[in-house]
Structure 1
């Protein structure tokens, strides 16, 4: 990676300016101890940043700071972290669509957002050109070169001033980055933890060589790639719920490999059985179902050296020094069993039939049992010896399959599999491993319209289950959640309380707003001799600072607490008491993330009543919104100029009959 030092702010920077270690940034005490609530921790962090632009003269313009982060000391490689403070007035749309999609539409709009951006070489260069052209730097949110909205950043996360946030993008090696995705995620996780973010969401659309990672990792591990950092199912699109997601994962994971061999064999798909055999030979335990296979392959990928390979040939009985039979006798028994299977003309036969046929030539039944057990799903010469439990009769069956057309051209038929030259043909590289993973993914999980998918769908709901997993892409991690609801007597005689506000409705005097008007609890710090009036003023100031709709908040009373304004707080509030303050605000604008009249016109056949970020189409008569997928409009097709929902179509059809 080239240093970004020469791209932005080079002339402005002081000689010897502090450079922070990328791998430690955000840890406790580095660069500062984060001891307060989120908004205070951000302010403390920005004290260590280089001010790129300031909005002090204009409240409606964003400010930005940058930090130099060292990736490597020798050779010196640094990147920049930008923190951009975006006032709500600078936003083209005050409502946050990401909050709406993840189910936080009931949250109040905050006064500020903080964008944390690791630019790539390309986006950093664009920011430099933009800065040179108008002097606004990367904080020029509405400018021609929209730095914040660029899709090419290594990382872009945004926090609302109440501590809720969204990780918008991570571009690792797969997208041309010199930083691996897991290093970027480690950095982001340290930031969220250190700053004491509340809840953070992300939209898991990550891919690896065209494979959706939420599907691949879901089958292999039962959870997303992001789960290693604690992100779990938050909200599904198309009304997918967490129990539906879990059942879909279990359904696909539990598909028996023996059933897949039967189905895929019927379609003459020779590659898949060979892949099964290849990795069963490498594994030291039985791979029973699809989850076992994908799990083993991904774990093997993590251990496999980049340049070297592993031998897929499992010597098993043929070279085992403790084997009681000589290699010559084992080879003879193998040849006899193969010939017996050849006479079966490649049909499935029971283990007992094979054993009985071979006993005419090999009298040692122990040797036959030993070889039969070890040959299953192994390649011998030009043949794959397939072994499977018949799902109907529950009897173990064998079948011989000619795979010479998919083996190396120089492969010679024979049974002396201890030959080093033969073993060398079955060495696996990372490239081969990824090719096999991609083959399995496409054939079993992705290509549902092909015969494989159709056959499986009659007994195993692979297409439906895979679709549910793919629709489970909004993940959430709770970092701090609600602040601890307790009273703490801090240092220097300071008292920490946690409070929220119940906003009195502006619509009708004497009524209160719904529960969605109550924001999360915030920490309020007071002297231990503070009065109730001082507490109300402090709560009022805190919530005015955080929320757009509470800028004119007037705190009137403390619910369920009978006290005069001059009473001391410390003598009235016991440990663990929740404090809810009732107040009013003169703001008449839409103050919630969901926007005005949100979701009133969403009524989809899948059950969706809220915007989940998926493409929708509006009926030209009733204006009800539905998912394009649910009404049969493929994603690769444009929305028709005129669209009628089923209900309106039916009413039009019945209309002539209703006329006199």
Structure 2
């Protein structure tokens, strides 16, 4: 048995390995784990027993080696959604699991890979790239271990085994609050950021630049301005009391919302335990990190509770980088509304119009088809005059249609992208009685429901849409007695000319003795690729860049620097294999108006004409709606209708929604 808090520290339980992950994991299992007398789907299981030094209970740490050739899921959905769909399929995956406390004395079952209750579940491919799938501390079901203890252990294991990159999808919550938003504002990074996890990929076209600017916008909200902006609003008095209470308590000046939230989170355990009556959300907290796939619904918006927020068209166009003047855009929107009103007034019509029908009706008054397409694209849940223009799928025809509704008659507008907590209305205002209740109150009212600020709304949404984070362990060349190289297969060996735009798979770490020869390096490279990837079982190295002028018997030391990237040429790659890339055998394309160019794990639909995938949400299909059995994207709709005018419909991203810097925040958010 090994100590839980010291396991995988340098020198414990063994000296740090110097090889690649694929070799280190085997040494680890041989030296630090015992083979179980049963398996899961024919896959071997090892167990390492860890003892908690202060509480004296024993924790089982299981490692399962999943053989891709007999696996029910040879591809990796997590790689696909992370941006690693171009990685070769590895021969083996290693699952590192600590079950929930009540299962510590129970053998692992066949559904072990799908359980959401594990205290720890990490998956690492034998090339050193992997994913943290699940972590559950006290609030997630553990009776003995907190989340930080488990994360510390996982981080030490990854460093010890020399993993290369690990991703995590952060869906962790506490008291209904998304921790990636709360910690992002308070600390500048997600909860996983304390272990070095940084932005990896955002949903709906959110980029790292968007994320950084969004964090900056929210963190820099000044408390005095927040109080002023909430004056005259229902929760003004409570917000002012909370700010004043913690300002009085703090020895340092609290200027921004970042200062306030960070201070509140540092004193949450020292606050008095007086009861405070608050109408707070009762959603159970869980830090389970759910795996994503194209089919799963990850948004929890309901049809019963919809956010009644609509943006006025004048506000929308004020934030659009358009070559047409605002008055021209507003006139065009008015023409479209008039066409929709006329259609709605037809007693023989259901009131909706397809995009092409609206376009044709408006063409009578507006000849610029580019202007029409530009305005039509932005007319979704916006207020034009006294009407709300919406875009949705007709349940009968399953075709996207535009409809209008009178503004102010109780019609709900856009359904929220994220599940939003109800506005808290304290019955008894006692700031400090329950610090977390105060944090929830500020989170709900300031971050989620800031009054009359599209900038804050967009920034909050950008952070909430940034769920995937990654940690990289930089390559270390530490041994004086070894030479290490990153060896990458030349692109002409693995892709056809038409696929050269695909990013190359990562190289492999190859380690040889200090005085190894060129031929010994070639053999080591062959062995590494054969051992790691399915399509390279018959790979044979014919040459290595930087070493063309050397003979096979020449010694490498002094001729090439350790740690170099070497391009490898060879033959024997099975280009016809079905287990080639982690993204699967299908070479499908994503091109969505939000800017997404690849699978991000959100719900999508493919056009039945062009076969391009787009987000259902961006196509006007709510998460509560079933995807139409026949779906044709707007671009193909135009091409299918007999040409009356020149179509200028293109897929454009959030570049159209860039807005000017706001003086009070002095930053620009592009989302």
On whether the aligned pair clears a TM of 0.5, the verdict is yes
Alpha-carbon shift at residue 155 of structure 1 (Å): 0.7
**Cα distance in 1 between the residues matched to 2:634 and 2:499:** 40
Corresponding residue of 1:622: 610
Q: What TM-score do you get using the length of structure 1 for normalisation?
A: 0.68
- Residues 1:46 and 2:29 are matched in the alignment: yes
**Cα distance in 2 between the residues matched to 1:183 and 1:29:** 20
Aligned to 1:196, which of 139, 162, 181?
Answer: 162
- Residues 1:433 and 2:403 are matched in the alignment: no
Matches within 5 A, 1:601-620: 601-620=589-608
Corresponding residue of 2:262: 295
Matches within 5 A, 1:150-549: 150-178=115-143, 179-269=145-235, 270-302=237-269, 304=270, 307=273, 428-429=432-433, 432-446=434-448, 448=449, 452-453=450-451, 455-457=452-454, 461-479=455-473, 481-484=474-477, 489-490=480-481, 495-503=482-490, 505=492, 516-517=503-504, 519-526=506-513, 528=515, 530-549=516-535
- Residues 1:28 and 2:32 are matched in the alignment: no
Corresponding residue of 1:368: none
Aligned to 1:149, which of 114, 122, 140?
Answer: 114
Alpha-carbon shift at residue 182 of structure 1 (Å): 0.8
Residues 483 and 97 (structure 1), Cα distance of their counterparts in 2 relative to 1, 3 Å cut: farther
Q: Is the 8 A contact 1:505 1:584 kept in 2?
A: no
**Cα distance in 2 between the residues matched to 1:519 and 1:72:** 40
Residues 407 and 89 (structure 1), Cα distance of their counterparts in 2 relative to 1, 3 Å cut: closer
Q: Is the 8 A contact 2:510 2:524 kept in 1?
A: no
Alpha-carbon shift at residue 288 of structure 1 (Å): 2.5
Higher helix share: 1
Matches within 5 A, 1:587-598: 587=574, 588-589=576-577, 590-598=579-587
Alpha-carbon shift at residue 115 of structure 1 (Å): 0.6
SS of the aligned residue for 1:443 comes to: helix
**Cα distance in 1 between the residues matched to 2:537 and 2:611:** 35
Aligned to 1:565, which of 552, 555, 564?
Answer: 552
SS of the aligned residue for 1:260 comes to: helix
Corresponding residue of 1:633: 621
Offset from partner CA, 1:109-161 (integer Å, 9 cap, x none): 11111110010035557xx4xx5xxxxx55xxxxxx41122111001011111
Residues 205 and 155 (structure 1), Cα distance of their counterparts in 2 relative to 1, 3 Å cut: same
Q: Is the 8 A contact 2:34 2:47 kept in 1?
A: yes
**Cα distance in 2 between the residues matched to 1:470 and 1:122:** 33
Alpha-carbon shift at residue 216 of structure 1 (Å): 0.6
Corresponding residue of 2:80: 100
SS of the aligned residue for 1:555 comes to: strand
SS of the aligned residue for 2:52 comes to: strand
SS of the aligned residue for 1:177 comes to: coil
Residues 285 and 652 (structure 1), Cα distance of their counterparts in 2 relative to 1, 3 Å cut: same
Alpha-carbon shift at residue 246 of structure 1 (Å): 1.2
Alpha-carbon shift at residue 648 of structure 1 (Å): 2.9
Matches within 5 A, 1:77-156: 77-122=57-102, 124=104, 128=106, 137-138=108-109, 145-156=110-121
Q: What TM-score do you get using the length of structure 2 for normalisation?
A: 0.67
Unaligned runs of 5+ in 1: 1-18, 132-136, 139-144, 311-404, 409-424
Deviates more, 1:435-444 or 1:30-39: 30-39
**Cα distance in 1 between the residues matched to 2:93 and 2:572:** 22
Alpha-carbon shift at residue 273 of structure 1 (Å): 2.0
Q: Is the 8 A contact 1:501 1:583 kept in 2?
A: no
Residues 516 and 619 (structure 1), Cα distance of their counterparts in 2 relative to 1, 3 Å cut: closer
Greater relative contact order, per chain length (Cα 8 Å cut-off, separation 6+): 2
Q: Is the 8 A contact 2:131 2:167 kept in 1?
A: yes
Offset from partner CA, 1:36-56 (integer Å, 9 cap, x none): 22222211211221201578x
Corresponding residue of 1:585: 572
**Cα distance in 2 between the residues matched to 1:437 and 1:224:** 16
- Residues 1:69 and 2:50 are matched in the alignment: yes
Residues 634 and 286 (structure 1), Cα distance of their counterparts in 2 relative to 1, 3 Å cut: farther
Q: Is the 8 A contact 1:166 1:200 kept in 2?
A: yes
**Cα distance in 1 between the residues matched to 2:78 and 2:568:** 29
Alpha-carbon shift at residue 610 of structure 1 (Å): 0.5
**Cα distance in 1 between the residues matched to 2:125 and 2:76:** 9
Alpha-carbon shift at residue 407 of structure 1 (Å): 8.4
Q: Is the 8 A contact 2:3 2:52 kept in 1?
A: yes
Unaligned runs of 5+ in 2: 277-424, 647-671
Q: Over alpha carbons, which structure has the higher Rg?
A: 1
Q: Is the 8 A contact 2:5 2:53 kept in 1?
A: no
Offset from partner CA, 1:54-89 (integer Å, 9 cap, x none): 78xx9x942110111112565x41121100011111
**Cα distance in 1 between the residues matched to 2:497 and 2:234:** 75
Residues 306 and 233 (structure 1), Cα distance of their counterparts in 2 relative to 1, 3 Å cut: farther
Offset from partner CA, 1:474-527 (integer Å, 9 cap, x none): 111111x3454x9x651xxxx424141425756999999788455424122247
Deviates more, 1:566-575 or 1:534-543: 566-575
Alpha-carbon RMSD across the aligned residues, in angstroms, is: 3.2
**Cα distance in 1 between the residues matched to 2:494 and 2:247:** 69
Q: Is the 8 A contact 2:117 2:141 kept in 1?
A: no
Corresponding residue of 2:330: none
Q: Is the 8 A contact 2:489 2:507 kept in 1?
A: no
Deviates more, 1:541-550 or 1:515-524: 515-524
SS of the aligned residue for 1:148 comes to: helix
**Cα distance in 2 between the residues matched to 1:152 and 1:297:** 30
